[in-house]
Amino acid sequence: MDFTEHDSLAEFRKAATAWADEHVDPAWVDLEHTTGTHHNPELHALLGAQGLLGAGWPAQYGGTDVDPAYALAVFQEIGARGLRMDGWVTTEMVARTILHVATEEAKQEIVPAALRGEVVIVLGYTEPGSGSDVAAAKMRAVRDGDEWVVNGSKMFTSTAHMATHVFLLTRTNTEVSKHKGLTLLLARLDDPGVEVQPVHTLGGQRTNATFYSDVRVPDTLRIGDVDGGWGVMRVALVHERGTATAPGGPTLVEQVAAWARSAPGADGAPLLDDPTVAEQLARLAIDEEVGRLLGLKVRWVASTGGMPGIEGSMQKLHSSEAEQRRVDVLTDLLGEQALLAGDAGPLHGAVEWALRKAPVSTIYGGSSEVMREIVAERRLGLPRSRPIG
């Protein structure tokens, strides 16, 4: 793979900037921070209506003729303005999984609607008491004719209060090992028996606890085989760990370095003139560049028809642990200023916000321990450290 530095989206940057100037309301950034919800329904609907969500997708499932490179440039410009699109990130992840493993009926029902911006899908994996061990799911789904009756609860169902569907990991067989008795269902969040309660996190995000009481899901919205949910999860996690839309804009380290060029240090000289500070920022920049290159490898494997399971695990492991190293160094570097939120702190409190959200980075999407096991076993050929239960 050629890692030569070039901007493959350069010809689309001007048009993407013009699009964002016209359509992106700067007030949306403040709204995200005050509500803790990283999904804007107005923006999402607009992206769907203009065919940007469907760029590059197969035409038979709702793909549009919008150039995928232009769409990516728009997404990156949105990210550069401080907006996140978590609703699209999870929807895209599940829609791509559906294309890999679902029935033709499910593909036709869900994917085109998702690309039009009408369907927003969130993840229902984690349960109270099971943490990142998703295979320990106890939510029960019992077959009743052409439907499944679902009972149980999920934790950290982010964006559920603004979504239409949830991708539920359920227990359909209690007589086999935990990895073999799972089935994925796509449930509507406005159906009777579904309850969504807010959970506000240390990082300022609103996530949710969701509860399901005799919720009925048609078998047509079963994604993958009965009791074959672990295989479906492996496909979904590949898309979660690196193939989602890349954010745009300068990195946090780049922002801090730009700030340090003029911010005075203890001796009154610019902070970046201190060789120790420059070295620390350089090391962090190297971490970020390694993460970027690993992410490019993941997207390259996916774009050539592969399933970058190992590559995604490598990228997720490095980037999440680098994020925690980054906030530790930046907190030491900025001192008490790193703890100032919003306009009271440097860079509008970007370091303070990163400090609060970093602890969870090595847990969601698969813990660092699990990522190390995947790399050790599947890339290095080492024996399993623990049996499949």
Catalytic annotation, residues: 240
Distance (Å, whole) CA 171 – CA 117: 30
Distance (Å, whole) CA 345 – CA 337: 6
CB atoms within 10 A of CB 266: 8
Distance (Å, whole) CA 233 – CA 223: 10
Q: In Å, how far are 89, 317, 387 from 382, measured between CA atoms?
A: 33, 18, 13
Among 10, 6, 1, CA closest to 76 = 10
> Cα(first)–Cα(last) distance of the chain, in Å?
38
Q: Residue 197, SS3?
A: strand
Q: In Å, how far are 17, 38, 121, 318, 352 from 79, measured between CA atoms?
A: 11, 11, 20, 21, 19
Q: In Å, how far are 143, 254, 265, 272, 355 from 257, measured between CA atoms?
A: 57, 5, 13, 7, 17
Distance (Å, whole) CA 89 – CA 85: 6
Distance (Å, whole) CA 126 – CA 116: 28
Distance (Å, whole) CA 324 – CA 343: 23
Maximum Cα interatomic distance, the chain, rounded to a whole number of Å: 76
- Which secondary-structure segment (H or E) carries 328? helix 309-334
Strands (E) located in 66-205: 121-124, 140-144, 147-154, 165-171, 182-188, 194-200
At 84, phi and psi to the nearest 5? -110, 155
Is residue 217 within 8 A of residue 148, CB to CB? The reply is yes
